[in-house]
Amino acid sequence: MRPIERRIDAYLSEHLDRYLEETARLCAQPSVSARGEGMVECAQLVGRMLEAHGLAVRIFPTPGAPIVYGHADGISPRTLLFYNHYDVQPPEPLELWSSPPFEPTLRDGALYARGACDDKGELVARLAALDAVREAHRGSLPCGVTFVVEGEEEIGSPHVVSFVQEHLDLLRAQGAIWEGGGIDPEGRPVLTLGVRGVLSVELSVQTLTRDAHSGAAHRLPNAAWRLVWALASLKGPDERVRIPGFYEGALPPSPLDEELLEALPDYEELERQIYGVREFVRGLRGKELNRAVFEPTCNIAGLTAGYQGPGMKTVLPARAAAKVDFRLVPGQDPNDVLVKLSAHLQREGFGDVSVQCLGAMWPAKTAADAPFVALAARTGAEVYGRPALLVPLEGGSTPIYAFAGPLGDLPVVFAGVGYWDNRAHAPDEHVRLQDWLNGARHIARILEGFAAL
Amino acid sequence: MRPIERRIDAYLSEHLDRYLEETARLCAQPSVSARGEGMVECAQLVGRMLEAHGLAVRIFPTPGAPIVYGHADGISPRTLLFYNHYDVQPPEPLELWSSPPFEPTLRDGALYARGACDDKGELVARLAALDAVREAHRGSLPCGVTFVVEGEEEIGSPHVVSFVQEHLDLLRAQGAIWEGGGIDPEGRPVLTLGVRGVLSVELSVQTLTRDAHSGAAHRLPNAAWRLVWALASLKGPDERVRIPGFYEGALPPSPLDEELLEALPDYEELERQIYGVREFVRGLRGKELNRAVFEPTCNIAGLTAGYQGPGMKTVLPARAAAKVDFRLVPGQDPNDVLVKLSAHLQREGFGDVSVQCLGAMWPAKTAADAPFVALAARTGAEVYGRPALLVPLEGGSTPIYAFAGPLGDLPVVFAGVGYWDNRAHAPDEHVRLQDWLNGARHIARILEGFAAL
């Protein structure tokens, strides 16, 4: 370890209590975007915190929650962008929390609170990394930093795209650290490099103005049947999506992606345990399960029609609906899929099934051979004492596309403070102090090395 | 009109107030079988009423609500059986009633109360017919009568089959009048001669021990998809049930049934108005809609899986379920269909879809050329001044099979006090006084003619 890294590590350890207090202060401020609770108060608190850490702050209103922006110049003209969010998931069910979700509590080497990990603790770890690096460099930062802390991540980031497009000048950067990183069950740092896009729709059918008695099923059209047949036309048990042109443009993993996928551990047994899976999709086994992330999907997230209580009601439902999401791989476009979906239903005789778009995100992927990825991997290996796992593409979706494209193919990496059981989105969310420290150290080392890329 | 019929009619008109009071007294006693409310009290009240009308009464306990039995001998050794029920549907939603459901109220020539039509008013009309006939015959009944008044019709009559089997000796009869008859929108008496059977099942699938994030849809099996594919294997958009052997044994309408179907009015326009139908099943039009009742059906009564609220939740459901009912025509057997359904799912690769039987009833059909039918039709035409409509088979199901088979092909006819807008099962249920009078007169004439068949 070089002396400068030793100073950084020491600084973070010595000031851990102060940062935990800061994290606790932030977590004590409710900010539940799903019901607009405490959003402005939390944005202002984040603004004051960014200022306290030496950033010039601006708070941008949106039609929803404000976006907090902070910037500080560094010695190098290169700028590293940080994406975080100050909103949290609703804390319910409250009775399953060991301590109240908005009363941060330290126990067993971890801080428990809603947002402790996702994403308030992670934000403070990044601010701590700034302090440590600045202290190690006698008050200067080796590179510029820009923070974007939004307040609507947990509800699909509806205002980030237009914010980025309207403020491209403020956001120029040469690399970005995304929220939500951490370590795998074996303690290896996991660096995610790409996410899938998503198209979310509601399919609904109404065949009658009101429900009828099921004794009329030989005469009256049943909405649930129309929905079932329409859904079955989208995908059969072979899991192949049947919408013509759906797979058009979908890019396979690059040779380097293939190498990374091969290097990832086999999570089959773990998933069998967590979810009690008897058979995976298409009979996939072992490492095939990792590679399958390059398959776009069509998922039924919800089905509703008619009577759903105990026993039987002999009803013929007038209305039926399904929530469906399509996860899209690089090269696919949710707008294009939406058009093809509607055309397919029409062509298959399901013109009576209406398609409502509930949300869309584009896929985004950083080339695994970008020097920024190498920096994050090397520093991760140093901090955690184990080689980093590079995940070329994750199954989920997040609005990286809003930044990466408009900012000129910005390389984006996830690096953070989470671990597999941190209970983000669930009761007893927490961050372990050691994970928090390692996460901050990792960010500090990336800041250290970023100017020289 | 013969003098005896004039006397009967006059008797019923003169005593209408007393019978309305009796109906009101019975309706004022709540008897909601769905929640076991007031069942024993109502059974005792019915028992006292049958006694007051000259019947020897026995009340038989069952594992559910008691069954009230009443009998009186007549001059002829022939016996006519009446099937009625004293339980009612839950009155909710209460706020949609113009007067409280258990406070019978007379207005605009009708009695409003839960049960006023279905089936307490109808029961009292039959008791009134007994009185009128007895009075016209100087205290004797021309034939024997047996009343079975059960308390679980609205919850599927779970204890009627074993009651009949255990008391065949008490139930011997040569004809039966079922509950639930009435007139059509043009005022013609409608005599239903048959009902379909029904098999009700819940199909459910569980692919995981808990819901997952939909970002894992390329790996984890989705219960909603399994359910959709299993359902689509049961029936396609051509409405043909694909379970091998499903149609085996299903009898087509007899030549006489065909004649009756042809004589029925065309309800297409009426159903278009009531239900806002754009297109009927299989494009059926006009009188084809009536004939289609001889097609057995497979109906989805409910679908449930995953997230069903507003907006989107990116969830992969661990569990999905459907309520399905099959309406069966004469010649089909619900037990046989249940076996074939399970075998079909297994064979089609849906062994993971579990099938739970929620209920079964057998079809039952009275031959349209039975002399008992001719009596009901002739007397109906006399009372209503219009030819009776004979419905060879109705779309719904009711436990006629429990009586008709064990009692040796007992001919069964529906004849009653309902009309198309009586709101049975709904708020503001009522019986019109004129319908009540006509219903009682019709029963009296059937009693009159029954001995001579």
- Residues B218 and A293: beta-carbon distance below 8 Å: yes
pLDDT in tens, A389-406: 999 999 999 999 999 999
- Give the nearest chain A residue to B201 (CA atoms): A312
Residue A389, pLDDT score: 97
CA distance A181 to A190: 7
What integer is the mean pLDDT of B399-409?
Answer: 94
First to last CA, chain B: 20
The share of chain B scoring above pLDDT 70, in percent, equals 100
Residues 233-272, chain B, touching A (beta carbon < 8 A) = 235-237, 271
B1 interfaces chain A, CB cutoff of 8 Å: no
Task: Quote the mean pLDDT of chain A.
Answer: 96
Tokens of A159: 């205002």
CB-based contact B281 A311, cutoff 8 Å: no
pLDDT in tens, B289-315: 999 999 999 999 999 999 999 988 889
**Given a cut of 90, is residue B71 above it in pLDDT?**
yes
Pairing of strands B175-178, B412-414: parallel
CB within 8 Å of B135: residues ≥ 6 apart: B7, B8, B11
Residue A313, pLDDT score: 87
ipTM score here?
0.94
- A123-127, A154-158, A412-416, B438-442: the lowest-pLDDT one: A154-158
pLDDT band at A312; cut points 50, 70, 90: confident
B316 interfaces chain A, CB cutoff of 8 Å: yes
What integer is the mean pLDDT of A100-127?
Answer: 98
pLDDT in tens, A413-437: 999 999 989 999 899 999 999 999 9
B306 interfaces chain A, CB cutoff of 8 Å: yes
What is the CB neighbour count within 10 angstroms for residue B217?
Answer: 28
**Given a cut of 80, is residue A379 above it in pLDDT?**
yes
Residue B43, pLDDT score: 98
**Given a cut of 80, is residue A1 above it in pLDDT?**
no
Residue B313, pLDDT score: 87
pLDDT in tens, A190-239: 999 999 999 999 999 999 999 999 999 999 999 999 999 999 999 999 99
B231 interfaces chain A, CB cutoff of 8 Å: yes
CB-based contact B299 A214, cutoff 8 Å: yes
Q: Which of B329, B411, B337 is nearest to B367 (CA)?
A: B411
pLDDT in tens, A61-85: 999 999 999 999 999 999 999 999 9
Helix residue ranges, H only, A192-317 = 223-234, 255-263, 268-275, 288-291
Residue B264, pLDDT score: 95
pLDDT in tens, B347-377: 999 999 999 999 999 999 999 999 999 999 9
Select the more confidently predicted residue: A2 or B106: B106
pLDDT band at B132; cut points 50, 70, 90: very high
CA distances to A252, B145, B160, B193 from B177, rounded to whole Å, are: 72, 11, 16, 10
CA distance A83 to A179: 6
What integer is the mean pLDDT of B16-28?
Answer: 98
CB-based contact B220 A271, cutoff 8 Å: yes
Residue B60, pLDDT score: 98
What integer is the mean pLDDT of A285-309?
Answer: 97
A356 interfaces chain B, CB cutoff of 8 Å: no
pLDDT in tens, A259-288: 999 999 999 999 999 999 999 999 999 999
Q: Map out the domains of chain A with their CATH numbers.
A: 3-195+363-450 (3.40.630.10), 197-250+296-361 (3.30.70.360)
